[in-house]
Amino acid sequence: MTGREPDSAHGFPANDTPLALPSGTVVRVRNLVVFRGHSGSNLTIMIQTPSAASDGDRVANEALEVARLHDEFADRQSIGRIIVMICRTQACLETREPSTEMFQFVRQTDRTWDRDPAAS
């Protein structure tokens, strides 16, 4: 595996992986972070989407698709929560400003992913 040189204009994040969703939209995965704690592990995925922020239902469905596409990884890592953050600015990508669009999903008893009602 070879590393990718960061964009010299921005430098961070270095990851810019296209991910085709089942709906046909292609999002860009910019960062994946696993947090491990006493109460369990969480996966945070930062993405960029071409969908407009004003189309909240579409963006929420895309976030769920992203979570579901990471199911096998989450299962292997014993992850019980996936957070999908939508970043639309360079400052968000660099974690200098928070994402205003964040979706949290929890693994259900049937092993599927669904929105976390406590996070809404």
Q: What is the pLDDT of residue 97?
A: 93
Q: What is the pLDDT of residue 2?
A: 35
Instruction: Write the class of the CATH domain 17-101.
Output: alpha beta
The more confident residue out of 14 and 117 is 117
The more confident residue out of 1 and 10 is 10
Domains of the chain, by residue range, sit at 17-101
User: Mean per-residue pLDDT for 89-97?
Assistant: 90
User: What is the pTM for the complete model shown?
Assistant: 0.85
How is 50-89 classified by DSSP, letter by letter? SS-TT-HHHHHHHHHHHHHHTHHHHHHTTEEEEEEEE--S
